[in-house]
Amino acid sequence: MTKRFSLLGSTLVLLATFAAPSVNAQTETVLRVAMTAGDIPLTAGIPDQGFEGWRFVGYNLYDALVSWDLSRSDVIADIKPGLASSWAIDPANNRRWLFTLRRDVKFHDGSPLTAADIVWNFERFTKEGAPQFNARQFAFARAYLGNFEGIEKVDDFTVAITTKQPDSLLPYNMSFLMMVSPRRSEEVKNDADAFARNPSGTGPYRFSRMIPGERLELVRNADYWDKARIPKHDRLVLLPMPEASTRTASLLSGQVDWIEAPAPDAIPRLRSSRMQIVTNSYPHNWAYQLNFVDGPFADIRVRRAANHALNRADFNEMLGGIAMEGFANLPPSSNWFGNPVRYEFNQAKARALLREAGCMPCRVTFAISTSGSGQMQPLPMNELVKSQLEAVGFQVNLQVMDWNALLQMGREGREKHTDVHGINISRSLQDPFNGMFRFSWSQQASPRGSNWGHYSSPSMDALIDKALATFDEAQRLPLLRQVHEKMSEDAVMLWVVHDLNPRALSPRLRGFVQAQSWFQDLTPITVAPR
Partner 1 sequence: MFGYVVRRLLAAIPIALGVSMVCFALVYLAPGDPVQTLLPPDADAETVERLKRLYGLDRPLPIQYLEWLWRVMQGDFGKSIATGRPVLDEILRSLGNTVLLATLSVLIAFSVAFILGTIAGRRTGTWLDRIVTGIAVLGVSIPNYWLGIVLVIIFSVELMVLPASGMAGDTFDPTSWEHIQHVVLPVFTLSMIPVGIIARTTRSAVAEVMNQEFVVTLRANGLPEWRVLRHALKNALPPVLAVMGLQFGTLMGGSILVETVFSWPGSGFMLSKAILNRDVPVLQGTILVLAMIFVTVNLTVDLFQSSLDPRIRRG
Which residues contribute to the site for partner 1 (CB under 8 A)?
A: 34, 38-39, 42, 44, 48, 135-136, 138-140, 142-143, 146, 192-193, 196, 211-215, 239-243, 245-246, 249-250, 252-255, 401-405, 407-412, 425, 427, 434, 438, 446-450
**DSSP one-letter string for 441-494:** -GGGBTTTSSBTT----HHHHHHHHHHHT---HHHHHHHHHHHHHHHHHTT-EE
Q: Select 26 or 408, whichever has its Cβ closest to partner 1.
A: 408
Q: Select 41 or 338, whichever has its Cβ closest to partner 1.
A: 41
Angle 489-477-146 from CA coordinates, rounded to 5°: 85
Per DSSP bridges, beta strands 362-369 and 394-401 are: parallel
Beta carbon of residue 48, minimum distance to partner 1 (angstroms, whole number): 7
Beta carbon of residue 240, minimum distance to partner 1 (angstroms, whole number): 7
Residue 188 in 3-state DSSP? Answer: coil
Q: Which helix (H) or strand (E) holds 356?
A: helix 347-357
Q: Select 429 or 460, whichever has its Cβ closest to partner 1.
A: 429
Q: Select 377 or 434, whichever has its Cβ closest to partner 1.
A: 434
Quote the CA–CA distance of 145 and 238 in Å, as a whole number. Answer: 29
Catalogue the E-assigned strands of 36-83. Answer: 66-68, 79-81
φ, ψ (nearest 5 deg) of residue 75: -130, 155
Q: Select 345 or 403, whichever has its Cβ closest to partner 1.
A: 403
Beta carbon of residue 338, minimum distance to partner 1 (angstroms, whole number): 23
CA dihedral 126, 127, 129, 134 (to 10 degrees): -30
Q: Select 87 or 195, whichever has its Cβ closest to partner 1.
A: 195
Task: List, edge to edge, every strand of the sheet that includes 276-278.
Answer: 205-211, 215-220, 235-240, 30-35, 258-260, 503-505, 276-278
Taking phi first (over 0 means left), then psi (-120 to 50 degrees means alpha), and beta for anything else, what does residue 43 get? alpha
* DSSP H helices in 175-298: 182-187, 192-197, 244-252, 267-272
Beta carbon of residue 33, minimum distance to partner 1 (angstroms, whole number): 13
Beta carbon of residue 518, minimum distance to partner 1 (angstroms, whole number): 12
- Do the beta carbons of residue 476 and residue 470 sit within 8 Å? yes
Beta carbon of residue 170, minimum distance to partner 1 (angstroms, whole number): 17
Beta carbon of residue 323, minimum distance to partner 1 (angstroms, whole number): 20
Q: Select 408 or 475, whichever has its Cβ closest to partner 1.
A: 408
Q: Select 242 or 358, whichever has its Cβ closest to partner 1.
A: 242
Q: Select 150 or 254, whichever has its Cβ closest to partner 1.
A: 254
Beta carbon of residue 68, minimum distance to partner 1 (angstroms, whole number): 17
AA letter at 419? D
Beta carbon of residue 489, minimum distance to partner 1 (angstroms, whole number): 24
User: Residue 130 burial by CB count (10 A; 0-12/13-18/19+): exposed, middle or buried?
Assistant: middle
Q: Which helix (H) or strand (E) holds 84?
A: strand 84-89
